[in-house]
Structure 1
Amino acid sequence: MTFTSLELADFILRGIATGQLLHMGLAHGSTQPHAIRISQRATISCMVAYLWLTAPLPDQFYGHWRGLLLLLTDGLIYCLWLLASYSFRDHFSLVRLPLWLQGLLTLYAAWFAYFFVIQQGVGLFHTINHVLVIVLALHIVYLAIHDYQDDLLDKRRRARIQVTCLVCVYLVFLAGVELAPEFIRHHRLYSPTNAVLVVLALVTYTVYAKNNRLSEALAPAAVFTQPQTAPHPLRQKLDQFIDSKAYQQTGLNLAALADHLNCSEYQLRKYISTELGYRNFSDFLNQHRLTDASVQLSNPELSSTPILTIALNCGFGSIGPFNRAFKLRFDCTPSEYRQTRLKTSQLQ
């Protein structure tokens, strides 16, 4: 098998991109949570598979490996979705999903592997998967921007913007490829141009990530423990705010609290994340709101008070977010918590 100089250059560029991806997978993310590291490395594996499956080589060259490369290539968006979910949703976990949903996802993963490895991606599902790629890509954008204002970590806020821009560019590129005339997609310059763009994107991302320490954005927030000669100027103001239970205001956000404390949003974000160890503003509020709710649910005198009333009095806008936040913290529903606590108080 002989290759033209253009094809050889294409292979070299893909090799450079592969090396860069492998370096990213091995050298970065040591401080990140385990789930993020796993999904990040799975994403990198899929990107490497994409690079070599789209190389200027005939299908028969890959032999039995083509099915695996096809599986990883078409699974890229799913790995990206998992990476975005674990990165931008602090309490996300596949094991927390209902058992029936975990079962459905397991069956879907088995079918996905069978279709692309055994059937080599031949069938209607390949087209369906292209639609799912767009749906998941749009949902990644949603995950990145949905809690942007609630996020207290400045580096992760920048990462949200980066992800949104990159995914949008990817969608435009995908649409352009699908809508482009056939001769463009099969032009001899298309493959090396694609390889050049991948290398440039990886180099740009690596330099940006290193300069801005993006890997730290996904690590657990550290509480500032070094001795200080004087208390933080926001400490007394925030303590007074908490003591007055003003956090029970419905719809309270970071901007409103910063205005109330007469400080900038940046100062307040930095204080709550660095000094108090919270990664997002809603967790900070819920810590105090749920404590109040647990006290009221344990009070026999309030046993006839509807749980919705307690939730609203504590600052939650509706029962749904209250139930989810309560179960996440106490590992049971509010009604189960109330029943247990009231029975305990009756036995005492």
Structure 2
Amino acid sequence: MQNYSPYYLLLFVCMGLMFLNALKKDKQLVHYLFVIFCGSLCMVAAQKLSAQSIGAYQYLIGLFTCATCNVSWLIARTLFREHSPISRRHVAFAATIAGLIMFNQTWHYLVSLDPQPLPTSDIMWRLKQGVNEVTILLSSSILALSFWEAFRGYSKKTQSQKMQSVIFGSAWVLAVFNASIFPKFIFSAAEIELYNPIIITSSALLIVFAMQGVMLLQAITTNKQKLHHNSKSKTAFDTDDVKECCDSVHHQEQVPPELIGGIAELMNEQQLFLQTSLKISDFAQALKVPEYKISRAIRYHYKVANFNLFINQYRVNYAKTLLASEQAKEWSILSIALESGFSSLATFNRVFKDIVGGIPNEYRKRKRKRKGNYNENIRAC
């Protein structure tokens, strides 16, 4: 007889991590995806635990297990890609897999209610077998893509990023090996069925803990960079900025024209501001100059107080273009925020309001109203 207690462990761990990330104040895209992923694993555990007691209705719970491997791939892209990690085609691909899983669960539900709920033609059964094969193929492919995302561009990563890739990739390899290969070597078919709850739970938790671990490491790295940047900014202010504030014209003359041209190229042509985690060190590395020279150029040539405000002004202007664009009129505010280089909707709303004076949704409505009035005036003429 199977021991179902591992499923309780999976349920409670995933539920705890789901609420932990859902209640986080400054949530980013990866936190929303991780909440969905954990919620789907909770449904996997709930379906397994309730199968004997509720019978066919377990497949209704199974409808909500459609966000596992597909959403884990989206999480992998978000964790290891800085610029535009998710587009509409990625969401469409993940949604296709979700739809196939929901089709399978619906089929099992109908068959469980009535031995012949559907036409007896072999066409329907062949369709079911075809959908099963396609689902397995796409799920296997997306697992490979998740592993590839972690190690893409490995040689160019920092030591911290390499460690994150190793943690994530190793967890995936161990989970797949533990779920599909290892049991066949040491267990018989009957024993595999007996130990299936332990196999499924241990494999799922390997991936869950790896994702949460990488998210924590990235948060720690981001906080360290902020503290380092603030410390350097404070030191620079204590030693140089008082003098510079008193003689800004002199410093403006010291900003090399080629540096201004380099910054303009990075912002206007390469649109570097669309990168979510852009730092002043990225500019310094691209232009091969010290960071303080970038900071000085921004203050005295562009007349902007600091690097973050400089980048956010470009992002907000880009977002304003999207909000007023016909091509993006069906896009959500979150999609526009991510496309404009912001890491979360909360940050986008706050920065947009500080710079423009209102929230993005109000700006979009105002632009549409003005455009509608303009079109009416044209028709009247």
TM-score by length of 1: 0.51
2:20 corresponds, among 24, 27, 32, to: 27
Mapped contact 2:171–2:207 kept (Cα < 8 A): no
1:36 aligns to 2:25 (yes or no):
no
Do 2:167 and 2:214's aligned partners in 1 also have CA atoms closer than 8 Å? no
Q: In the alignment, which residue of structure 1 is the partner of 2:146?
A: 140
2:174 corresponds to: 169
SS of aligned partner of 2:84: coil
Q: Contact conserved, 2:14 with 2:38, CA < 8 A, in 1?
A: yes
Structure 2 distance, partners of 1:186, 1:216, is 43
Is the 1:32–1:216 contact (alpha carbons within 8 Å) kept by the matching residues of 2?
no
Task: Specify the code of the residue in structure 2 equivalent to 1:93.
Answer: I
* Aligned-partner Cα distance in 2 for 1:206–1:91: 19
Identity %: 10
Do 2:179 and 2:199's aligned partners in 1 also have CA atoms closer than 8 Å? no
Match of 2:78 among 71, 76, 86: 86
For the Cα contact (< 8 Å) 1:145–1:164, is it kept in 2?
yes
Aligned in 2, Cα 1:180/1:84: closer, same or farther, shift over 3 Å? same
The answer to whether the aligner puts 1:18 opposite 2:23 as a matched pair is no
1:160 corresponding residue in structure 2: 165
Contact 2:183 2:192 in 1 (8 A): no
How far apart, in 2, do the equivalents of 1:108 and 1:195 lie? 20
Higher normalized contact order (CA 8 Å, seq sep 6+, divided by chain length): 1
**Unpaired segments of 5 or more residues in structure 2?**
112-127, 239-254, 266-281, 291-305, 315-338, 342-381
Counterpart residue identity of residue 137, structure 1: L
For the residues of structure 1 that align with 2:307 and 2:170, how far apart are their CA atoms?
31
Q: 1:276 to 1:139 in 2, by over 3 A?
A: farther
Report the residue type matching 2:45 in the other structure.
L
Aligned to 1:228: 234
The count of aligned residue pairs is: 256
Cα shift at 1:87: 2.6
What displacement does 1:144 show? 1.5
Q: Would the aligned equivalents of 1:31 and 1:215 in 2 still touch at CA under 8 Å?
A: no
Normalising by structure 2, report the TM-score: 0.48
CA displacement at 1:54 relative to structure 2 = 4.6
Work out which of the residue numbers 109, 117, 122 in structure 1 matches 2:106. Answer: 117
Aligned counterparts, 1:194-233, within 5 A: 194=199, 197=202, 201=206, 213-215=217-219, 224-225=229-230, 227-230=233-236
Superposed, 1:1-348 pairs within 5 Å as: 7=3, 10-11=4-5, 13-28=6-21, 30=24, 33-54=27-48, 59=51, 61-73=53-65, 75-89=67-81, 90-94=83-87, 96-97=88-89, 102=92, 109-120=98-109, 123-148=129-154, 157-176=162-181, 183-184=188-189, 186-187=191-192, 189-191=194-196, 193-194=198-199, 197=202, 201=206, 213-215=217-219, 224-225=229-230, 227-230=233-236, 242=259, 245=262
Inter-CA distance 81–44: structure 2 relative to 1 (3 Å threshold): same
Matched-pair contact (CA < 8 Å) for 2:67–2:98 = no
CA deviation profile, 1:110-155 (whole Å, cap 9, x unmatched):
4542332244595332232122222101111221221445567x75
Deviation at 1:26, TM superposition (A): 1.1
Over aligned residues, Cα RMSD in angstroms?
5.5
Q: How far did 1:105 drift?
A: 7.0
In the alignment, is the contact (CA less than 8 A) between 1:156 and 1:218 conserved in 2?
no
1:28 maps to a residue whose letter is: N
2:179–2:200 contact (8 Å) kept in structure 1: no
Counterpart of 1:271 in structure 2 is none
Summarize the Cα distance change of 1:60–1:135 in structure 2 as closer, same or farther, 3 Å threshold: same
SS in 1 for 2:234: coil
Instruction: Note closer, same or farther for the CA distance 1:199–1:35 as it changes in structure 2 (3 Å cut).
Output: closer
Q: More helix per residue: 1 or 2?
A: 2
Contact kept? 1:87, 1:218, Cα under 8 Å:
no
Unpaired segments ≥5 residues, structure 1: 233-238, 249-253, 263-274, 278-282, 288-327, 331-348
**Native 8 Å contact 1:81 1:140 kept in 2:** yes
